[in-house]
Each structure stands twice: as structure tokens, then as C-alpha cells.
């Protein structure tokens, strides 16, 4: 009892004491130790490795009157570590209630166990203030850490309860562009979290994230309200300070490993080995007046000490022809939002116009086959998709199996299809389906469960489409209570975005979608049935997929499920490019006509004939 009274008195004294004149950077240099569990370079913290973080940590310090700090960044720059340094500083030198928000509760638990607990265990100054979770009444749980004078609560942006649990002085919003648009029906999670700090006049908010889509990026919107600081480095030749831009990274023809920064003023060349010296001499430059209370920092991965310019150049070379991969590169490497380009509007007529002559054999470029199965009340619709290098795809078959999904005959027919061997142009033994995704939604869920049960080893997966900001393929399935089958929740919004981006591609190569001559107008109408629209939920813009009344979209669903099956294989370790490179060479009798590969026998003009599949559509 006496011990508890002493702790309370100590907490009261610390709460009333003025904040110390110590910066977050000074604290990190003195006390922070990086653990081998959570850091690639364990040991004592040194800001000299990432000098661009010093000013960010300085404005997070108690003596600085900045209210909000925004860090719009690329990958591998130390953004989360900056937040953890601030967390340690708060616990040790400026105690008060603190809230850390991750995109989901699951992510919050993982960050707590891997990053926060590692910070506590490796830093004696923190460990002595936060008791071991094994101690009685320690106040140390996965999502809450008590310390003298304050408490750290960790939650997910998808938990409305966690976002309105308590008033806080310090607020750490990590990866804000990954937050859902709405937290449990109560509104924007960022707005909910900000309300927790309104009662503190000396509040401090840190927002960190890689940006996503222009017009929908929270971190970009916050950065635009700030003083918009950029990090500039001096040229070795003319001495002028400049920001590192991708357009100034160049290399000799055919020698990408020699990628170097070229000064935009004098053209002076700076090889990779000069980067540490450039960073050490660099400084942040304010470029806008802002709202007077927000310090904004923008930094691309070109500044990262852990990523060389040649690696970024190689990633761009591999991604530039695939809009899906290029978007990720722009977001994570340049720390810029992705914006749809003009002239990329996609419709059914343009897709029909680029149909090609191939089949019935699987094209020589195809290394992997996946299948998407959509369950309807009186039929199963199936698309067989072939995948080649860099996820270039060929629609190899679209089939409708008519029948009653509650009867075994239809499922027996599906099993025969999924276990069949398909003729291949260059593989003598043909090609079998590597994975299939079967939709379990609708009115025949139990029948779908029954079919998938016991077939997971054949990579026939029971799936359920889930809207919102989710990965295309989940890290793990859930076990259904009734069906007793592993159910994979796939991110249909992300999958549709990827499919539509690739449908817009006009040139063969990475991500391009090929279609045979036997696809008719009904197929392409279904494939392009949905549109991405914007709605406002409690004042915050959200994108969603909209389908006009009366339009059919089974072809789109089948393509999404086939694409999800590919992602399932990738998650299991499939190297698609290696598979594609191992294929036999393309036959010499293949010729090129109008930039479309066809067999020599089919090179002569052929009347446009459609296989009558339109009658298969209701």
C-alpha cells in the first residue's frame, strides 16, 4: 500500500513538473538501443545514419510549440522508429496519456509485440518505468502500457471503442493512408482520434504514412496544410542545395548499377557512395506558410541509407510497364500519390477490338493456370486464366456449367473440369490448373463449403469477397464453424483495381490482358460492368465499386477470383517469372501480324466468327 502511495505521489509530481528542455533526438542518442528483433542494424541509436530525422524529432520535442507533425515518406526511411523514439521520450521525460493508432487492431497487436515491447526490453530507461507484463498488477498488457505520469494505449483505426476510450495529450497516427474510411459507423478514424486530444492545449500529434491515391490520401491532405518542408542536399560541384528527384537519377546506357544523382543546376555527377556525405550536409527547407501549427516533411526513398539508387532504378525498370506495380513503386519509393492518367478510359468496345487469334491450346507463354468460379442459383461460371512473365495474362476459357448447385451432379462436373489437363503449345504433357478460388457467398454456401472441404491440398480454395482496404490475399484463413473449412477472405476492391488497371494497358508485356476471338460482347459488358466512384461518409471521401442496376458482372467476379488464386500461389512461394523463363521456346512457326502473335496457319485473314456463348448468358 505504501509503495502504491509513493508511486502515485511520484506520478503527481511528474505531471505537475514543467517539460524538460531535452529534444527527442537528444534522448534517442543517449538512451535508445535498437534490438536485433526489430531492427536490421541493432545497437545504440545514431541519428548520423539518418540525419534527415533530426529535425522531425526536434519538432516533436516538448519545448517546440508545433501542434501537428506530418511525415509523408517512402519505404525504409525510419518513420516508425522516429515515432518509437518519441514514445520513449514521452515515457521517460515528458509523461502523459498517449494513443498510438495502427490501421487495424491486429496490426496494433503485432506492432505492440514486435516493436513496442522490443523498445521497452532493450532500453533500461524505459524498462524501469514500465513493469514486466508478468508482474502482478503491472499495468502492462498488449494494448496498454502504464508508466508513472501517463499511459500508452495502442489500438486499431477500425475500432471505434479504442478511438474514443480516453483523452490524450500525445497522438501517434501510423500509416494513416491504410486506415478504413469509417470506424464502426462512427466516422473517420483520424477525426475520432484527434478528438481525444482537443482538451490539451499542449497536445502533440504525429502523422506518418506512405501516400496512396491522389484525392484520397490522408497524409497528402495533411501535408498540403503544413509548411511543406523538403530535404535538400548540396552539390559537390556547384554547392547549390537541391531536392533529390527521380528525374535526376541517371546512368550510362546498359549500366543501371552505376545509377547516380545528377545536380539539376550544373549536371555534376554524384555516385551512390556520396549519399551519406550528401545527407550529412543536407537540411530541411520550408516551401509554404501552411496553417501555422503543422510542420510537414516529405521524403522519398531516394534518401534512404538502406536502399541504393540502382535498386530503385531496377524496380522502376521492372514495374514501369505494369500499372499495378508502378503504382506501388510511386507510392513507396517516390512517396507520391498515384493519379490516373488521361486517355486510359476502358470500355467493352475497346477490349473487343483487340481480341486475338489463339487457342484452343494454351499459349506458349503461359506458365501457370488459375481458375475463378462464381456460384449462381442455376449455374457455375468459370474463367480459366493463364499467367506468363510479369503477370501478363491470357483468358484461356470461359465456361458455364448449368445445373442445380444443391445437387451433386453439378459439383462432379466442376471437379472434372478443375482436374483436367489442358493442351499446351510447347509442353508435351499439357498444363493443369494450379489453383482455383470458389466463391462461397450467395444462396449455396454450404454446398460450396462441402465441395472445398478436403480439397485445399489441391489448392481449391473456398473464398469470400470482402470490401474495403484489404490485401488481395489474406495472411491466414478463418475456420468456418458450420462448414469446417478454411475460408479465405480476399480483398475484392484491391483486386478489381488491379484488374481494371491492367485492362487499360494497350501494349503487350507486363500485366497486359489477352482475349481470344471467341469472347463476345456479353462477356466484355460483364467484365467492365463496374465503375469506381466516390462518396462522402461524414465528410470524408471514400472510393467504392458501383454497378448500374440491371448490369451483370459474373465475368468480372470470375477474373477477380482467378487473380486472387494467383496471389494465393504467390503467397506460397511461387516465382512466376522463373516458371515462365523455364518454358520451352516459342515455336518457329509463330509469326507476328499487327503486333499480335498468331499461328502461321491462322496468319491469313479470318472471318470474325464468334463461338455462340451469348446464349449461355441469361
Is residue 589 packed enough to be buried (19+ CB in 10 Å), middle (13-18) or exposed (0-12)?
exposed
C-alpha cell at 86: 518519441
Give me the pLDDT at residue 434, please. Answer: 97
The answer, yes or no, to whether residue 599 has pLDDT greater than 60, is no
pLDDT tens profile 139-165: 778 889 999 999 999 999 888 877 877
Give me the pLDDT at residue 601, please. Answer: 34
Query: Which pLDDT band holds residue 593 (cuts at 50, 70, 90)?
Result: very low
3-state secondary structure of 588: coil
Give me the pLDDT at residue 541, please. Answer: 67
3-state secondary structure of 460: strand
Give me the pLDDT at residue 590, please. Answer: 60
pLDDT tens profile 520-549: 888 998 998 888 777 766 566 677 788 887
Q: 540-546 and 531-537 as β-strands: parallel, antiparallel, unpaired? A: antiparallel
Nearest-angstrom CA–CA distance, 445 and 462: 10
What residue spans of 371-511 are helical by DSSP H? 408-418, 445-452, 492-503
C-alpha cell at 578: 522463373
More confident residue, 267 or 617: 267
Give me the pLDDT at residue 5, please. Answer: 47
Nearest-angstrom CA–CA distance, 69 and 219: 11
Residues in contact with 478: Cβ distance below 8 Å, sequence separation at least 6, in sequence order? 486, 487, 489
What residue spans of 295-382 are helical by DSSP H? 309-319, 323-333, 348-353
Mean pLDDT of the chain: 86
18: DSSP letter: P
Burial profile 358-396: b = 16 or more Cβ within 10 angstroms, e = fewer: bbebbbbbbbbbbbbbbbbeebbbbbbbbbbbbbbbbbb
Nearest-angstrom CA–CA distance, 513 and 460: 24
The answer, yes or no, to whether residue 433 has pLDDT greater than 90, is yes
Give me the pLDDT at residue 618, please. Answer: 26
Torsion sign (Cα): 163, 165, 168, 174:
negative
What structural domains and CATH numbers belong to the chain?
1-224 (3.40.50.300), 225-317 (no CATH), 349-602 (3.30.420)
- What integer is the mean pLDDT of 12-25? 66
C-alpha cell at 581: 523463363
Give me the pLDDT at residue 230, please. Answer: 96
Query: Which pLDDT band holds residue 616 (cuts at 50, 70, 90)?
Result: very low
The whole-model pTM stands at 0.77
Cα dist from 346 to 389, 527, 533, 542, whole Å: 23, 11, 15, 22
Amino acid at each position: 500500500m505504501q509503495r502504491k502511495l509513493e508511486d502515485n505521489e511520484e506520478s503527481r509530481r511528474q505531471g505537475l513538473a514543467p517539460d524538460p528542455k531535452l529534444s527527442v533526438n537528444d534522448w534517442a542518442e543517449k538512451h535508445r538501443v535498437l534490438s536485433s528483433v526489430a531492427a536490421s542494424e541493432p545497437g545504440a541509436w545514431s541519428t548520423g545514419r539518418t540525419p534527415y530525422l533530426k529535425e522531425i524529432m526536434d519538432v516533436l520535442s516538448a519545448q517546440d510549440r508545433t501542434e501537428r507533425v506530418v511525415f509523408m515518406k517512402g519505404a525504409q526511411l525510419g518513420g516508425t522508429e522516429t515515432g518509437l523514439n518519441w514514445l520513449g521520450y514521452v515515457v521517460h521525460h515528458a509523461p502523459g496519456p498517449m494513443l498510438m493508432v495502427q490501421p487495424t487492431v491486429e496490426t496494433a497487436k503485432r506492432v505492440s509485440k514486435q516493436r513496442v515491447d522490443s523498445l521497452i526490453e532493450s532500453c533500461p530507461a524505459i524498462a524501469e518505468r514500465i513493469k514486466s507484463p508478468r508482474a502482478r498488477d503491472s499495468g502492462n498488457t498488449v494494448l496498454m502500457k502504464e508508466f508513472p505520469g501517463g499511459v500508452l494505449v495502442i489500438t486499431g483505426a477500425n475500432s471505434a471503442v479504442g478511438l474514443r476510450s480516453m483523452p490524450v495529450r500525445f497522438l501517434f497516427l501510423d500509416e494513416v493512408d491504410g486506415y478504413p474510411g469509417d470506424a464502426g459507423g462512427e466516422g473517420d478514424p483520424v477525426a475520432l482520434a484527434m478528438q481525444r486530444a482537443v482538451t490539451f492545449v499542449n497536445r502533440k500529434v504525429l502523422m506518418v504514412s506512405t501516400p496512396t491515391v491522389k484525392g484520397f490520401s490522408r497524409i497528402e491532405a495533411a501535408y498540403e496544410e503544413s509548411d511543406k518542408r523538403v530535404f535538400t542536399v548540396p552539390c559537390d560541384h556547384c554547392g547549390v542545395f537541391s531536392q533529390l528527384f527521380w528525374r535526376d537519377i541517371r546512368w550510362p546506357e546498359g549500366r543501371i548499377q552505376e545509377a547516380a544523382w545528377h545536380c539539376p543546376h550544373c549536371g555534376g555527377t554524384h555516385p551512390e557512395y556520396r549519399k551519406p556525405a550528401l545527407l550529412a550536409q543536407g537540411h530541411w527547407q520550408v516551401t509554404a506558410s501552411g496553417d501555422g501549427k503543422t510542420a510537414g516533411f516529405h521524403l522519398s526513398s531516394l534518401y534512404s541509407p538502406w536502399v541504393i539508387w540502382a535498386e530503385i532504378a531496377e524496380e522502376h525498370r521492372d514495374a514501369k510497364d505494369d500499372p499495378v506495380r508502378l503504382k506501388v513503386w510511386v507510392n513507396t519509393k517516390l512517396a507520391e500519390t498515384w493519379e490516373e492518367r488521361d486517355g486510359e478510359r476502358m470500355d467493352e468496345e475497346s477490349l473487343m477490338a483487340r481480341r486475338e487469334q489463339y487457342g484452343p491450346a494454351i499459349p506458349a507463354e503461359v506458365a501457370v493456370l488459375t481458375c475463378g468460379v462464381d456460384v449462381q442459383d442455376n449455374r457455375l461460371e468459370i474463367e480459366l486464366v493463364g499467367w506468363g512473365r510479369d503477370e501478363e495474362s491470357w483468358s484461356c476459357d470461359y465456361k458455364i456449367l448449368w445445373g442445380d448447385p444443391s445437387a451433386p451432379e453439378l459439383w462432379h462436373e466442376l471437379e472434372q473440369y478443375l482436374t483436367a489437363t489442358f493442351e499446351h503449345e510447347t509442353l508435351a504433357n499439357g498444363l493443369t490448373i494450379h489453383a482455383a478460388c470458389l466463391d462461397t457467398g450467395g444462396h449455396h454456401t454450404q454446398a460450396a463449403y462441402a465441395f472445398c472441404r478436403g480439397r485445399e491440398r489441391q489448392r481449391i480454395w473456398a473464398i469470400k469477397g470482402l470490401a474495403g482496404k484489404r490485401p488481395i490475399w489474406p495472411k491466414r484463413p478463418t475456420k468456418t464453424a458450420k462448414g469446417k473449412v478454411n475460408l479465405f477472405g480476399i480483398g475484392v476492391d484491391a483486386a478489381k483495381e488491379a484488374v481494371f488497371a491492367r485492362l487499360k494497358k494497350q501494349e503487350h508485356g507486363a500485366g497486359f490482358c489477352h482475349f481470344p476471338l471467341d469472347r463476345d460482347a456479353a462477356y466484355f459488358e460483364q467484365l467492365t460492368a463496374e465503375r469506381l466512384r466516390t462518396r462522402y461518409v461524414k465528410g470524408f471521401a471514400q472510393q467504392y465499386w458501383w454497378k448500374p442496376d440491371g448490369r451483370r458482372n459474373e465475368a468480372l467476379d470470375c477474373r477477380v477470383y482467378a487473380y486472387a488464386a494467383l496471389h494465393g500461389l504467390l503467397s506460397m512461394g511461387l516465382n512466376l517469372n522463373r516458371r515462365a523463363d523455364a518454358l520451352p521456346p516459342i515455336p518457329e512457326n509463330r509469326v507476328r501480324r499487327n503486333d499480335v502473335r498468331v499461328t502461321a496457319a491462322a496468319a491469313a485473314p479470318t472471318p470474325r466468327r464468334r463461338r455462340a456463348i451469348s446464349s449461355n448468358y441469361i
